[in-house]
């Protein structure tokens, strides 16, 4: 047991690869992390912490976890409504990032399972397609 612990200590393996039982979720999250790096990191920052009173945090976000459909809608179409995240009001516009439906699902799976967020239900392409303005 001690040898196994020491071996894992020095091997760099993403947490989702060690604990996830669903290869489809792992693949979606990997694609989503790349989309996040391209489209979201500028405002929401590397660890999803956001900018207080300007860009809401995605890390440990009560809004994200309690408003799944609205969160998908925001990523899919952009957003210009006031929201409250972890007790702080945000009223900044988020432009439509121009993502395809599969990309929206992938980035949602990434942010819903990163930085202290966790969900048992994977965001599917069908769920994103059904989300309307």
pLDDT, tens digit, 9 for 90 and up, residues 73-83: 999 999 999 99
Domains of the chain: which residue ranges?
Answer: 21-115
Check pLDDT > 90 for residue 7: no
* Average pLDDT value for the chain: 88
CATH architecture of 21-115: Orthogonal Bundle (1.10)
| pLDDT-based confidence at residue 71 (cuts at 50, 70, 90) | very high
Shortest CA distance to 76 belongs to which of 48, 102, 99, 50? 99
Write down the pLDDT at residue 20.
52
Task: Provide the 10 A C-beta neighbour count for residue 43.
Answer: 15
Q: Can you read off the two tokens belonging to residue 11?
A: 């091997």
Check pLDDT > 90 for residue 16: no
């Amino acid at each position: 047991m001690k040898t196994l612990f020491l071996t894992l200590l020095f091997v760099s393996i993403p947490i989702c690869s060690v604990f996830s039982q669903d290869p489809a979720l792992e693949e979606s999250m990997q694609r989503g992390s790349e989309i996040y790096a391209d489209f979201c990191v500028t405002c929401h920052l590397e660890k999803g912490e956001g900018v207080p009173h300007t860009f809401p945090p995605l890390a440990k976000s009560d809004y994200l976890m309690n408003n799944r459909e609205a969160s998908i809608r925001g990523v899919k179409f952009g957003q210009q409504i006031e929201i409250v995240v972890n007790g702080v009001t945000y009223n900044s516009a988020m432009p439509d990032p121009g993502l395809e439906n599969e990309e929206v699902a992938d980035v949602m799976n990434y942010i819903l399972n990163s930085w202290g967020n966790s969900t048992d239900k994977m965001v599917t392409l069908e769920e994103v397609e059904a989300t309307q303005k």
